[in-house]
Amino acid sequence: MSDLLAARAQMATSLAFHILFAVAGIAMPVLMVVAEWRWRRSGDPLDLDLAKRWSKGTAILFAVGAVSGTVLSFELGLLWPSFMEYAGPIIGMPFSLEGFAFFTEAIFLGIYLYGWDRISPRAHLASGVLVAVSGIASGIFVVIANAWMNAPVGFRIVNGRPADIDPLGAMMTPAAFTQTTHMTLAAFSATAIAVAGIHAWFVRRDPDAPFHRRALSIALLVAIPSSLAQPVVGHWSAQHVARHQPAKLAAMEAHFTTARGAPLRIGGWPDPATGTVAGAIEIPGGLSFLAFDDPTAEVAGLDRVPRADWPNVRIVHIAFQLMVGIGTWLAFVSLWAAWAMWRRSPWETQRLLLLALAGSAPLGLVAIEAGWVVTEVGRQPWIVQGLVRTADAVTPVPGLIVPFVTFTLLYVALGVAVVWLLYRQIVRTGPMGEFMATREYAAPAAAAAPAPAPAPARPA
């Protein structure tokens, strides 16, 4: 393995690990705040227990995400020093703002976890809202930095170096809106679907488990709108790619030859050597229509790109197909669930829907990983689109296979620790156990109710 490949593999492994915790940090605080808000309104102990247990899960995922995010920040400087020298002054602002949002999230998460009986109910709920808002902001600022790498603006090139740098202008890159919206919705959809799928599995096993039925309904309140909106925003994002990164679009669609009325290919195995796609279903004019709203529009193919500048077509095309396929399925399942909720059908009678939700639990996270493969591999061989090549940005230090293997083992150990902690703190000791997942949830409420006053004695 070359040092360039080892550095790219280490960065890919770190990002693939960290992104799972980043999306949970965006969406889980929203779920816990909704649960607490419902409890403040109804006084139902189910909602209180959900808020507390989801906050424990949020804290665990946040802690591991902080560790993996810190590793990523070091890797940017150690593995890609030329990139940081070139781009640091331009994209330093979104990274700084992300750090501010991160510390805000950490502070108010601590207040939320330990302030249940120490601050007023309104202040406690507000702290949860601030955790959710800062988590969303943190993700947005990081994605803005990546969007700039895909569509760099906010400076001029003088003698091969950036000059007249405008950090705010760089943050207004044309890719910022579509990428941040697409990623934020993906975080809500993937996390909420994962939570809904877990609880749907338990409801299917025990339809009378009130805890899981309540958790499922709250998770779907987040999953349904985000999953239904995602295909629309994804379409806008793909149209932006068509205009600003035509080589990436060509790799996504395995479109080798420039043509008008370009077909949309579903599935298939690309062969870059022959410029063909085996086994694909082709819809005539579909790609031209989706990319430019015109079924006769010309779509640039990879034949307009020097061969040295081609992304890995097979990886990008397959990852894109996987992302789109999963996104379509999750939108369908969400529409199905919305229809069942609108009809007010009892969950326990919708066993096929519950099975579909349970089977979909990991799919949103898989789609996110596939989407980032499309974003990063599709930009290659550029680390900054059209300006800096990845091969020119890697550190000259040899032996990069050693840190790659070391950090991979570290992530495996962290992953095992997270699963164990979540099991110990939420599953084994919580309502997912045999006692709390049953109708006996009504017992604490009954015990807390005041005893009726004794009847007055009748006169003799």
| Tens of pLDDT, residues 121-133 | 899 999 999 999 9
pLDDT tens-place string over residues 30-85: 999 999 999 988 888 888 988 998 898 888 888 888 888 888 888 888 888 888 88
* H or E element at residue 422: helix 401-422
Of 74 and 185, the one with more pLDDT: 185
- Average pLDDT rounded to a whole number, residues 275-301: 90
Confidence category of residue 428, pLDDT binned at 50, 70, 90: low
Q: What is the mean pLDDT of residues 97-112?
A: 91
In this prediction, residues 437-457 reach a mean pLDDT of 44
Least confident of 132-146, 353-367, 441-455: 441-455
Query: Is 424 a member of any domain?
Result: no
Whole-angstrom Cα distance, residue 23 to residue 31? 13
Interval 333-380: pLDDT, tens? 999 999 988 887 676 678 899 999 999 999 999 999 999 999 999 999
Q: What's the pLDDT at 374? A: 94
Residue 138, both tokens:
């943190």
pLDDT for position 426: 57
- Whether 342 is in a domain gets the answer yes
Is the distance from CB of 377 to CB of 322 less than 8 angstroms?
no
pLDDT of residue 192: 94
pLDDT confidence of residue 417: 82
Q: Average of pLDDT values for 188-204?
A: 92
- How high is the pLDDT of residue 325? 94
Whether 453 maps to a domain, the answer reads no
For residue 457, the model assigns a pLDDT of 45
pTM of the model as a whole: 0.87
Average pLDDT, integer, range 161-181 = 90
In a domain, 270, yes or no: yes
Classify burial at 131, counting beta carbons within 10 Å of its beta carbon; exposed 0-12, middle 13-18, buried 19 or more. buried
Half-sphere CA count of 239, side-chain side, radius 13 A: 16
Check pLDDT > 70 for residue 437: no
pLDDT band for position 447 (50/70/90)? very low
Structure confidence at residue 453 as a pLDDT band (50, 70, 90): very low
Instruction: State the pLDDT confidence band at 411, using cuts at 50, 70 and 90.
Output: confident
Residue 117 pLDDT level (bands cut at 50, 70, 90): confident
Give the residue-averaged pLDDT of 206-229: 90
Q: Could you count the other beta carbons within 10 Å of the beta carbon of residue 375?
A: 25
- Asked whether residue 142 is domain-assigned, the answer is no
Query: Can you give the pLDDT at residue 69?
Result: 84
pLDDT at position 427 is: 56
Torsional class of 119: left (φ above 0), alpha (ψ -120 to 50), beta (otherwise): beta
6: tokens are 């080892």
Closest CA to 338 of 182, 432, 229: 229
Among 19-28, 63-72, 252-261, 436-445, name the one with the lowest average pLDDT.
436-445
The predicted model gives 215-224 an average pLDDT of: 92
CA 65 – CA 63 distance, rounded (Å): 5
| Per-residue pLDDT, 2 | 85
pLDDT at 33: 94
Residue 92: what pLDDT?
87
Helices (H), 255-400: 286-292, 313-342, 351-360, 363-377, 390-393
- Which range marks the domain in which residue 285 is found? 207-397
Q: Is residue 18 part of a domain?
A: no
419 assigned to some structural domain? no
> Which is nearest to 425 in space by CA: 65, 115, 44, 63?
63
The residue ranking higher by pLDDT, 420 or 390, is: 390
Predicted local distance difference test score (pLDDT) of residue 408? 85
Mean pLDDT of 6-25: 89
pLDDT bin (cut points 50, 70, 90) of residue 312 is very high
Structure token digits, residue 158: 């003088």
In the three-class reduction of DSSP (H, G, I as helix; E, B as strand; rest coil), residue 157 is classed as: strand
CA-CA distance, 145 to 152, in Å (whole number)? Answer: 10
* Average pLDDT for 213-227: 92
Q: How many domains does the chain have?
A: 1
**Does some domain include residue 131?**
no
Confidence of residue 425 (pLDDT cuts 50, 70, 90): low
Mean pLDDT of all residues in 260-265: 90
Residue 435 binned pLDDT confidence (cut-offs 50, 70, 90): very low
Residue of 328, 346, 27, 397 lying closest to 185 (CA atoms):
27
For the chain, what percent of residues have pLDDT higher than 90?
44
